[in-house]
Chains A and B, each alone.
Chain A
């Protein structure tokens, strides 16, 4: 049974960088795409980006300039860094495994559906 657990600071200051980690058990990072998704009252569910064990990443154009993702194979973890935080980044952040992804006509990987999800971690950005 695959389980994911997010961890990180619950409170961060505006203009700083958020760092989150997702620890995966029951499956190896290798061979799957892993995504970060956030949920806020104002914007609902928003896909942040994915990482593949090869190091390939892609992120939502709305966040691309502020997002960095990485992984630690030895710890079976993926990580998310989001810089230049504002109050609009206050949300519950989830990590999730992707399934059903595919390559489009130009060879770009397209994310599929998400299953399972971690329990989520609430991040509040304070001024």
Chain B
């Protein structure tokens, strides 16, 4: 199965700053079949990005996804207070689907 490694483990930033999260796959993810989720404490994950770069319904345009092959990135252009959370990547190009270990975006 494909192992997804997310980095950094924790990102400490201030509101208004730019966040860059990385997701690296142990083998190429076919057709850029990669999604990103946001999770806040006590809540279920919420879809942010699918197909590597398509924003989910209701997701603001400060969120963007990019990448292909084994390297993918989630960028939040200007952090808002509600963006501080845990973020997970998920690949669905190979069975079984797998998730990364997550990156925490915390307030500095």
**How near does chain B come to A122, taking the closest CB pair, in angstroms?**
11
A94 touching B44 in the complex, CB below 8 Å, given contacts A100-B51, A100-B92, A111-B92: yes
Given contacts A44-B102, A45-B88, contact A114 B95 (CB under 8 A): no
Contact with A along B72-108 (1 / 0, CB 8 A): 0000000000000000101011111111111000000
Contact call B92/A113, Cβ cutoff below 8 A: yes
A-B contact count (CB 8 A): 62
Contact yes or no, A45 B99, CB < 8 A? yes
Q: Measured between C-beta atoms, what is the minimum distance from A26 to chain B in Å?
A: 14
| Chain B neighbourhood of A46, CB < 8 A | 99
- Contact of A65 with B by CB under 8 A: no
Interface centre among A58, A111, A119 (most CB of B within 10 A): A111
Interface of A is mostly: strand
User: Does B92 contact A99, Cβ atoms closer than 8 Å?
Assistant: no
Known: A61-B96, A112-B33. A45 touches B45 (CB 8 A): yes
Contact of B47 among A45, A110, A113, A120 (CB under 8 A): A113
A100 touches B44 (CB 8 A): no
The size of the chain A interface, using a CB distance under 8 A, is 24
In angstroms, Cα B35 to Cα A116, docked, is 13
Tell me the complex Cα distance, A101–B50, Å: 12
The smallest beta-carbon distance between B31 and chain A, in angstroms, is: 9
CA distance A33 to B101 in the complex (A): 25
List 11 A–B pairs whose Cβ atoms lie within 8 Å, in order of A's numbering: A44-B99, A45-B45, A45-B88, A58-B95, A60-B96, A101-B92, A110-B92, A110-B93, A113-B50, A114-B35, A115-B47
Known A108-B95, A114-B45; further 8 A-B contacts with Cβ < 8 A: A45-B90, A99-B50, A110-B93, A111-B92, A111-B95, A114-B47, A115-B50, A119-B43
